[in-house]
Structure 1
Amino acid sequence: MKRILVTGGDGQLGMSLKQKIKEKPIAESTFVFTDVQELDIMDEMFVKTYFFSNKFDYVINCAAYTAVDRAESDQQIAEKLNAEAVKYLAKASAAQKATFIQISTDYVFSGNESTPRKEDDPVGPLGVYGKTKLSGEKFALEYNPKTYILRTAWLYSPFGNNFVKTMLKLFKEREEVNVINDQLGSPTNALDLADAILTIVQNDIQAYGVYHYSNEGECTWYQFAEEIKKLSRSAIKIEPIPTSGYPTPAERPKYSLLDKTKIKTTFGVSVPDWKESLKSIL
């Protein structure tokens, strides 16, 4: 019987994992979902005590500080949750010889490229969020040899706050919205990412290291918004604007496409097209 801990259980990826396990239970596996109330991963002594009382075969860390702009002025907390807490979990899971799965981001890259990023391409985060997530990756790999890093991008789901839910809300409230049209990426349905994580757990082939997962295809935020508009049959007018027309505290990568070859060939993970995935949610 495999025991699997999921931290950040109330976030959009944690909730997506709950949904997937409900739909397709994994034989001989017990999942334990925690959030800050049950397990404060920023408290090292709390983590040690929790792991002393509970034994796991897998630890999936879905907890993160994801408020990209706020991280610029809230660096200490972002560092604590995205890096230090990852170190605590990596150490605690390694002590139990448990496999550690850490979720990371396209923000570890500068976004100045023009071809999909491979796992071993040079990193160069632009802001605090990307830097702290990259530190988390390094801690995970350093403190637990049985680690998978899963980088993803443009995550959305039926849960939590995300671009799709924001757009649907604005479509009801406004007659026109401005959306950035010069950042390129691939929207990722968190339910698909949850599927990929569960495939790794089920396969159990011990091919540790860094992997990329996002949905297939590419678009700008403006094209993403247009597709949401089409599928939700909204009459709103969407105006494309450049990044310079919407200044934010944190600089965004202009190019966020990830190469998924490694995860597909290693685990046989299927990667749906972003439009099909969006349709399945809406």
Structure 2
Amino acid sequence: MMLVFGKTGQVATELRALLPNARFLGREQADLTEPKACFDAILAARPEAVINAAAYTAVDYAEENEATADVVNGVAPVQMAKACAELDIPLVHISTDYVFDGSGVVPFKPGDITAPLCAYGRTKLVGEHGVTEVGGRSAILRTSWVFSAHGGNFVKTMLRYGETRDKLTVVADQIGGPTAACDIAKACVTIARKLKVYPDKAGIYHFSGAPDVSWADFAREIFAQTGKKVVVEGIPATSYPTPAARPYNSRMDCTSFEAAFGIRRPDWKAGLADVLSDLEKTT
């Protein structure tokens, strides 16, 4: 039995479909603002593997609530790692491209220097450092620009705006790989199962959709696939200021992940088509 922290988030929702026999812990069962509860939950359940799909992901709110985000993103994963190390079981911990400063145009490799620009990135990096320090059968999976038919995300925001507007301005100078939550969920399950047999595959990996695009081009593809006649005008990120600074370059080198687990970067356009189909079924 696998144990998953998270119940209603984008990746957790996809994991529920993939792992019908897994146990999922929401805030009621394990509140990540109480990290010791995570440690105790793992020891009590004694699962075969743990996937942490829970996090403080409100990027802008984290600027004013960094202390809380630090507990959820930084301290709680370390307690999970300690419990998993004690039981000698795999831990898959999801992280983010926000641990980098987004400089340059070259895809970031897992071993590149980290320099987060915002509180969210800083707190996620604290978690990475802590999990790595604990060691054991732990893998950190950095991903980017997550989307699905569930929760709040860029795809659903664009569709909502497209209902009432025929022209939108979208940031065109931030580049990254949109990643379908279902692809992340599949990757997490593969990692967990591999780590049971091959503990030497522990480490930090990158996993994002291909090809890399701007937010504006992502939006154009959303409207192209839905047939909506919405004009997308690209603008610089400086024209759309946010409380938290976002990286301009979110390109990630995923070659080490493919080599270790045999999974190529997923085609995000195909993932988008599946998500749009799911959304159409629910409307």
What TM-score comes out, normalization by structure 2 length?
0.92
Map 1:83-94 to 2 at 5 A: 83-94=74-85
Shift of 1:60: 0.6
SS of match in other structure, 2:250:
coil
| Deviation per residue, 1:215-257 (Å, 9 max, x gap) | 1211100000000010111112222111111011111100001
Q: Is it true that 1:225 corresponds to 2:219 in the alignment?
A: yes
Q: 1:259 to 1:52 in 2, by over 3 A?
A: closer
Q: Which residue of 1 aligns with 2:281?
A: none
- Indicate the residue corresponding to 1:20 in structure 2: 18
Instruction: Measure the CA separation in 2 of the matches of 1:276 and 1:148.
Output: 26
Cα deviation for residue 132 of structure 1 reads: 0.4
Unmatched tracts of structure 1, length 5 or more: 23-29
TM superposition shift of 1:93: 1.8
Partners of 2:240 and 2:110 in 1: CA distance: 30
- In the alignment, what sits opposite 1:241? 235
Q: How does 1:87-102 map to 2 (within 5 A)?
A: 87-102=78-93
**Cα separation, 2, equivalents of 1:53 and 1:193:** 27
Please, which of 120, 138, 142 is the counterpart of residue 129 of structure 1? 120
Give the TM-score normalised by the residue count of structure 1: 0.93
| In 1: Cα distance, 2:168 partner to 2:224 partner | 15
From 4, 9, 12, the equivalent of 1:11 is 9
> 1:187-226 counterparts in 2 under 5 A?
187-204=178-195, 205-206=198-199, 207-226=201-220
1:177-236 superposed Cα distances (whole Å, 9 cap, x missing partner): 210011111100111111111222233322100000001211100000000010111112
Equivalent of residue 172 in structure 1, options 138, 143, 163: 163
* 1:46 maps onto 2:44 in alignment: no
The answer for the alignment partner of 1:116 in structure 2 is 107
Deviations 1:14-68 (A, max 9, x none): 001112335xxxxxxx411111011113213423432342212211101111111
Matches of 2:55 and 2:75, distance apart in 1: 11
Structure 2 CA distance for aligned equivalents of residues 121 and 232 of structure 1: 38
Distance in 1 (alpha carbons) for counterparts of 2:71 and 2:237: 29
Task: Indicate if the aligned counterparts of 1:5 and 1:32 stay in contact, CA closer than 8 A.
Answer: yes
Q: Which amino acid aligns with 1:10?
A: T
Contact 2:84 / 2:136 at 8 angstroms: preserved in 1?
A: no
Q: Percent identity?
A: 38
Report the aligned-residue RMSD.
1.4
Q: Secondary structure at the match of 2:163?
A: helix
* In structure 2, C-alpha distance between the alignment counterparts of 1:225 and 1:149, rounded to whole Å: 29
Runs of 4+ with >6 A deviation: none
Q: Which runs of 5+ in 2 are unaligned?
A: 277-283
**Equivalent pair of 1:117/1:257 in contact (CA under 8 Å):** yes
Question: Match of 1:107?
Answer: 98
Q: Which amino acid aligns with 2:14?
A: S
Comparing 36-45 with 163-172, which one deviates more in the overlay?
36-45
Query: Post-superposition shift, 1:270?
Result: 3.2
CA contact (8 A) 1:93 1:144 kept: no
Whether the 8 Å contact between 1:61 and 1:101 is mirrored in structure 2 is yes
Secondary structure of residue in 2 paired with 1:68: coil
What is the deviation of 1:113?
2.2
| Aligned counterparts of 1:281 and 1:50: Cα–Cα separation in 2 | 33
Structure 1 SS opposite 2:140: strand
